[in-house]
Chains A and B, each alone.
Chain A
Amino acid sequence: MKHSHSKPSITRREAICRVAAGAAGCALAGRPGEASATPPTPPPSAKAKSVIQIFLWGGMSHIDTWDPKPKAGSEYMGELSKTVDTNIPGLQLGELFPNLAKQADKFSLIRSMTHRNNGHETAAYLMQTGHTPGERISYPSIGAVFAYFKEREYKGLLPPYIVLTQPQGRFSEEGFLGPKYKPFATGGDPNNPRFEVEGIVARGISDERQRARRELLGRMDPLTRTAAASPAIAAAEEAKRAAYELILGPGKDVFDLSKEKDELRDRYGRHTFGQECLVARRLVENGVPYVVINYPGGWDTHSNHFPTMRRQCPQLDQGLATLLADLHDRGLLDSTIVWCTGEFGRGPKVDWQPPWNGGRNHYGAVFTVLVAGGGFKGGRVVGESDDKAMEVRDRPVYPVDLLGSIYQLAGIDPNAPLPHPMGLDAHVLPLNEPGVKSAGRLTELM
């Protein structure tokens, strides 16, 4: 088929190919637009090869953790009024982060993150796409964008965009890029004796039974032998062989934490989050471009706030601090971005009234994001909130600034076009669109 005109940046046919059917398949089928259907691969000089995103769904309180304000008084600080000194002079964290305090040279804090949105879905979409929702098109999350741009470069058997262990499910992370760029959610629990990974490590199926099954299937499928010349059957058999490389091959060992020393597993923490951090390290070690840890437990602490913080923060502290130290010790931190945030922070002023009884509400006016590795400098603080952590005092950082910096370090052009099914002009991040605020990328950390 010939297209005589080139008015839209991609043709509709080609866009459907890319999005609904998947770029590789179209290229194989020799459809039009073959050359432009594959995205530009990030240059080898890019500092960040992989990303680990720790997402604190529900929105973790910033004043209790990354941005303590002991002088603001108990009306703001509640019962978590103490701070810990870090290994960076002058930098304090909340009292529940003693281990992170010892790794402060490895990460930086953006204490002036802001988007002023207090809705979970909208804020989560903003923080992971950089786009304002409500447009007619639903953008892919940063992980799907990585999967798209790393398509040619990344040859591993493991999916390029992996979520530990449950998907968020509140917006389609693959957006208009289509199902091929959907995150692979492992399911299971790496803190169990056997980490069952959906489709790869099955419950109650030993390798021995797996092999016996495969042999049985080989003896029980006469159509496959009779119709071996069919291209459809041949393609199915090839995909099945690739699936078995992961199910029965060494590829799945990446999920086998018994291959790690007990001492190291203890340091990460014998809880789901700690072991998820260890799996994340093993995944980036194996070249997986984008790993998300959806924190196993919510941070939406309207009520029961302080007990939840006392229960969850020590696990976050232990797992994340060990992850940063371990990545550093293995020389992986230079090539791995770690970033940690929720969709927003929480109201710095404690709500003592019933039914909250000492809770904190959604807060998008200012909150904190941790960034480390992959070209981000450690031991720094960007921006500042006011005395009560209520507003940005200095150097606001907007979602496009944060995401643009991550893309830049990974060699992905934040202005690059994305293939849209309708041929609409879509880009990795919004370009000069009205209402999109930016105060510039995080050059002070890069």
Chain B
Amino acid sequence: MRSCSAWPAGPSRLFLAVLLCGGMAVADTPTSRPSIHPLFESAEPARPHNRVDDFVFAKFSALNIRPVLCSDEVFVRRAFLDILGVLPTAEEARAFLQDPDRTTKRQRLVEQLLERPEFAEYWAMRWSDILRIKAEFPVNLWPNAAQAYHRWVLESLAANKPYDRFARELLTSSGSNFRVAPVNFYRAIQNRTPDGIAAAVALTFMGTRTDTWPSNQLAGFSAFFAQVGYKPTSEWKEEIVFWDPLGASRMPANVAPGRDNIVTTNRPVGRGVPTNLPPRMAVFPDGRRIALPPDRDPREVLADWLISPNNPWFGRVVVNRIWYWLMGRGIVHEPDDFRPDNPPSHPELLDYLSRQLAGANYDLKHVYRLILTSATYQLSSVPRDTRPEASAAFAAYPIRRLDAEVLIDAINQVTGTSDLYTSPIPEPFTYIPADLRAVAIGDGSITSPFLALFGRTARATGMESERDNRPMPAQWRHLLNSSHIQRKLETGPKLRTIWEGGRSTREVIENLYLAILSRYPTADEVKTVEAHLESAGAAPVASDSRRDGRGGGRTRSDAAQRRRDAWVDVVWALLNSNEFLFRH
């Protein structure tokens, strides 16, 4: 008898899980279960693992959804890509697949991945997207500040800084953009009016778009940001963000060089103390009015209100973002569009996760763990029900293309090659070390043609929808047929060690499948590849001899070349398969 792959969240659940699995054989007859695609799906029944599943599975029967778990092969790939933004290596995939302890290995893998250094790199990229970390147009943080800001985000995540502290530092810091990195939150806002700052704060931390607010609500909220000041120093590109209750930084003579004049509603007239001081009353988004104390930075007053376990705009927003990042769809969707007429699909689940976050002292990894160890996260991606209600109910893991940075990193990992990332402005050009992965690039201005083509976000707005993973023919032309990819296939040192290592054809095929698709090939797939190698070996090689200027008879090196080309074609096909290109 096969062991049960549904694994418990803790020792106390083991007993329950075994009971459920044992009882299943009686309760579920084969005809009542959907047929399984063994390559991608597990024959084990999908049963709730933890509280997350209770909320999600509760909706399934009404919608007549019969959930199916993914296979171990799918899970190992999914977990690496979702948690770290990297593909498992062939060795990592093999180790997981061969791990005999099927009751705990998925949970153990999640725990291991959450502690790897790539975790912080990958999630720093996501946070940098919504914080708009970019040296040049349109955010113009400037290179030093962009690097300092990214490093602060990276270190915060690596140290698992509690989210309440993370948010408070971003909201209330004062100081130099080079030395106090989180002040760059206020510099990465293009529209530096109180309304513009309020909109950025609402979008980033409250997941809400102020253009959907009643206009008087925005005015009251903006008052918290009417005393944010910016001033230059004598060091090039240095800028201080500070509490500026008298509006000194808005005096014409105090504007940072190279910056547009800051346009405010209370623009000073003439010299001296502004005649039009910032508002002294502010209104929280929940409608509560507050007189701003003269001896306190209003940003702190706002942070005190926002960062609270009972504030519906705080914890729910960040757990929903994490849910969206892992599950491909928010409980509130889109994740930066909280508003009364866009309700959550599972309100109790959202509240539960938010309470869990606050109860765990804002430990974000606790929320990752709850989601990643749920059965919901492990559902198959094979679409059985394409109704919108089904995807809103998380009936299947949604299939989505690898993000631009993750995709090129995966291609480089498989082939053993690297890409050049640069920023052409300002001179001197910025280059980064060849072994740095695209995911780890801190500054959104540092880029490559591949990243631009595959829809990396421009980090202009901080909205999740700015990243564009929709397919375009030009992307396929690049993947199928560009010199950029072909060169990697022909010269990639990792590939060479796989097919020139003197191993048997079967071993080479197995290693390629493990490295690229994180699974063993099926018997049919081995046959397909073997047949291709055979036919390529026998076929004429007109194009290649023409290219090399060598006509005439075939030599031993022709045969070797043909064999190499045949392997290149196999890898080419694997890299162009949707199984490789998509999270599934």
A12→B211 contact, CB < 8 A: yes
Residue pairs across A and B with CB atoms within 8 Å: the count is 204
Chain B residues, CB < 8 A from A198: 477-478, 482-484
**A219 within 8 Å of B (CB atoms):** yes
Chain A residues, CB < 8 A from B577: 217, 220-221, 223-224
**A196 within 8 Å of B (CB atoms):** yes
Rounded to whole Å, the gap between the CB of B71 and the closest CB of chain A is 12
**A150 within 8 Å of B (CB atoms):** no
Q: Which of A20, A169, A226, A247 contacts B466 (CB 8 A)?
A: A20
A227→B383 contact, CB < 8 A: yes
Specify the chain B residue showing the minimal Cβ separation from A15. Answer: B461
Bound-state Cα–Cα, A242 to B475, Å: 11
Q: Which of A171, A220, A239 contacts B525 (CB 8 A)?
A: A220
Chain B interface extent, by class = 35 or more
Specify the chain B residue showing the minimal Cβ separation from A134. Answer: B258
**A250 within 8 Å of B (CB atoms):** no
Per-residue contact bits, chain A 182-221, to B (CB 8 Å; 1 contact, 0 not): 1010010000000010111011111011101100110111
**B495 within 8 Å of A (CB atoms):** no
Chain A residues, CB < 8 A from B544: 204
Question: Given known contacts A16-B461, A247-B477, A422-B460, is B584 in contact with A223 (CB within 8 Å)?
Answer: yes
A179→B452 contact, CB < 8 A: yes
B382→A226 contact, CB < 8 A: yes
Chain B residues, CB < 8 A from A220: 525, 528-529, 573-574, 577
A239→B475 contact, CB < 8 A: yes
Rounded to whole Å, the gap between the CB of A116 and the closest CB of chain B is 21
Chain B residues, CB < 8 A from A230: 381, 383, 399
A20→B468 contact, CB < 8 A: yes
Chain B residues, CB < 8 A from A416: none
Rounded to whole Å, the gap between the CB of A279 and the closest CB of chain B is 18
B138→A176 contact, CB < 8 A: yes
Chain B residues, CB < 8 A from A176: 138
A204→B482 contact, CB < 8 A: no
A11→B461 contact, CB < 8 A: no
A169→B481 contact, CB < 8 A: no
Bound-state Cα–Cα, A236 to B381, Å: 16
B579→A421 contact, CB < 8 A: no
Among residues 536 to 560 in chain B, which have CB atoms less than 8 Å away from a CB atom of chain A?
Answer: 536, 539, 542-544, 547
Rounded to whole Å, the gap between the CB of A146 and the closest CB of chain B is 17
Chain A residues, CB < 8 A from B140: 136
A187→B579 contact, CB < 8 A: no
Bound-state Cα–Cα, A204 to B140, Å: 43
Specify the chain A residue showing the minimal Cβ separation from B547. Answer: A204
**B279 within 8 Å of A (CB atoms):** no
Specify the chain B residue showing the minimal Cβ separation from A243. Answer: B476
Rounded to whole Å, the gap between the CB of B329 and the closest CB of chain A is 12
**A331 within 8 Å of B (CB atoms):** no
Bound-state Cα–Cα, A222 to B386, Å: 20
Bound-state Cα–Cα, A22 to B581, Å: 21
- Subset of 17 A-B contacts with CB under 8 Å: A3-B211, A16-B461, A19-B460, A20-B457, A136-B260, A138-B138, A180-B472, A203-B486, A203-B547, A213-B569, A216-B532, A217-B576, A217-B577, A226-B39, A227-B381, A229-B383, A232-B582
Residues of B within 8 A of A (CB): 37, 39-40, 137-138, 140, 190-191, 209, 211-212, 215, 260, 337, 342, 381-384, 386, 398-401, 424-425, 452-453, 455, 457-458, 460-461, 463, 465-468, 470-478, 480-484, 486, 525, 528-529, 532, 536, 539, 542-544, 547, 565, 569-570, 572-574, 576-579, 581-582, 584
Residues of A within 8 A of B (CB): 1, 3, 5, 11-13, 16-17, 19-22, 25, 136-138, 159, 169-172, 176, 178-180, 182, 184, 187, 196, 198-200, 202-206, 208-210, 212-213, 216-217, 219-224, 226-227, 229-233, 235-240, 242-244, 246-247, 421-422
